[in-house]
A and B are shown apart, each in its own frame.
Chain A
Amino acid sequence: QKEVEQDPGPLSVPEGAIVSLNCTYSNSAFQYFMWYRQYSRKGPELLMYTYSSGNKEDGRFTAQVDKSSKYISLFIRDSQPSDSATYLCAMSGGNTGNQFYFGTGTSLTVIP
């Protein structure tokens, strides 16, 4: 079983839609959860960083962590064409030696 599972998509939505991106994981020891955005021909850019369970909001972005279900989500409200990118989830902590585990990324296209 992979440490982190992420649907690769591609996901295509109209401008203004609410986007939901998700990752599941198998190691209950993970405590730190991140979302990165990666534009074409660029490196991953940190979008959200959360610790343990709960929600964190930053502008149009909301990160949710449900440790009981081993499930994390990133919501994008009022999606814009500039949100078109690949979104990577990452996590670490606990008994993992603090190595970061990444999902494969979800490709998102927001259509004007």
Chain B
Amino acid sequence: ETGVTQTPRHLVMGMTNKKSLKCEQHLGHNAMYWYKQSAKKPLELMFVYSLEERVENNSVPSRFSPECPNSSHLFLHLHTLQPEDSALYLCASSQGGPRGNQPQHFGDGTRLSIL
């Protein structure tokens, strides 16, 4: 496989469920990102992992928990989500980390719906 792969593509869950989103990049990059994409809003950066650092957006609720076991894999653990968390969750990767200014390459996202 090439590029950035995200699973599952679609996820429907109740507010009390716990689920995880998975991302895998095959580009040899050393930084990975989680974004939230909602209708008519700019992409919202949630978390960044690179060799040098982990950066998170302080406005992201604690019900979202990232995990990055290595430079190729990234997870987003979800628990007790709210209806306003329904959105497209995009994973991206880049070379050089968040301070390298290299363009980010995106997966096709997980469409999350909270009932």
Instruction: Give chain A's interface residues, CB within 8 Å of chain B.
Output: 2, 4, 8, 31-32, 34, 36, 41-46, 49, 88, 90, 92-93, 97-104
Residues of A within 8 A of B66 (CB): none
Smallest CB-CB separation from B43: which chain A residue?
A: A102
Given contacts A43-B4, A98-B98, contact A4 B42 (CB under 8 A): yes
Q: Are A98 and B108 in contact (CB under 8 A)?
A: no
Interface secondary structure of B, over-half rule: loop
Least CB distance, B11 to chain A, in whole angstroms: 14
Chain B interface, number of residues (Cβ within 8 angstroms): 20
Least CB distance, B26 to chain A, in whole angstroms: 15
A98 to B103, CA, bound (A): 11
Residues of B within 8 A of A32 (CB): 101, 103
Q: Are A41 and B108 in contact (CB under 8 A)?
A: yes
